[in-house]
């Protein structure tokens, strides 16, 4: 039986196949399991004095993806500061040929523009909350979308999940304390498919994304 894949989690103790998140400038010890690493846009001002050191660390650490990084218009960090840091990390992702896990809040067009500018071939928009139209804009660029427990609280996002092709779909626990299996069960019901098919397909997506 295929195990659950948790594509983005801040929980170091979950026992599923997962990509743990290492938040540079905040977390001190890198996970022992496969992990993504990056400077979160919320931390863009806080880590200013450490910026060069953290970017050097990002360029050299044994992560399997750059993230979560991105743009967030709902936070108080100046957008220009966020953008500059996002671009610096996209440069590293391109140089290392690593996929990117994107934190995007009210900035889909800007994120897509910068991903294209830096020729990022593989990107995942994590914790997606938005409409079918926004999801389709992301999918049209060949990128993946991940849904979390928070996605289930939004009717328009449930509809986006229903319309997201299986071969572009991931699920994540993020910071939620709930077992990822609960999210798989809910997503399978929303999409009207067997949970084992969902597990198998997301496992295939996992292999494709990190190939």
Tell me: pLDDT of 40 over 80: yes
State the average pLDDT for the chain: 96
Query: What is the rounded distance in angstroms from the CA atom of residue 77 to the CA atom of residue 25?
Result: 16
Query: What is the rounded distance in angstroms from the CA atom of residue 58 to the CA atom of residue 41?
Result: 15
Domain containing 126 — which CATH number?
3.20.20.140
Q: What is the reported pTM?
A: 0.96
Tell me: pLDDT of 126 over 70: yes
The number of domains in the chain is 1
Predicted confidence at residue 184, as pLDDT, reads 98
Q: Which domain holds residue 117?
A: 5-209
Cis before residue 48, ω within 30 degrees of 0?
no
Residues of 77-91 as b/e, b for ≥16 C-beta within 10 angstroms?
beeeebbebbebbbe
Predicted confidence at residue 16, as pLDDT, reads 87
């Amino acid at each position: 039986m295929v195990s659950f894949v948790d594509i983005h989690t801040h929980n170091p103790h979950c026992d599923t196949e997962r990509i743990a998140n290492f938040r540079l400038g905040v977390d001190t010890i890198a996970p022992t399991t496969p992990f993504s690493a990056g400077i979160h846009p919320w931390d863009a001002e806080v880590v200013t004095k450490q910026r060069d050191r953290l970017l050097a660390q990002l360029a050299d650490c044994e992560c399997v993806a750059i993230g979560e990084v991105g743009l967030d218009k709902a936070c108080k960090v100046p957008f220009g500061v966020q953008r500059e840091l996002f671009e610096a990390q996209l440069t590293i992702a391109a140089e290392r040929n690593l996929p990117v896990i994107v934190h995007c809040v009210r900035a889909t067009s800007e994120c897509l523009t910068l991903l294209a500018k830096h020729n990022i071939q593989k990107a995942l928009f994590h914790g997606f909350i938005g409409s079918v139209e926004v999801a389709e804009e992301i999918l049209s660029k060949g990128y993946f979308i991940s849904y979390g427990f928070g996605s289930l609280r939004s009717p328009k996002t449930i509809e986006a999940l229903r319309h997201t092709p299986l071969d572009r779909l991931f699920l994540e626990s993020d910071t939620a304390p709930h077992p990822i299996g609960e999210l798989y069960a809910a997503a399978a019901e929303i999409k009207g498919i067997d949970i084992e098919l969902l597990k198998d397909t997301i496992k295939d997506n996992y292999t494709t994304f990190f190939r």
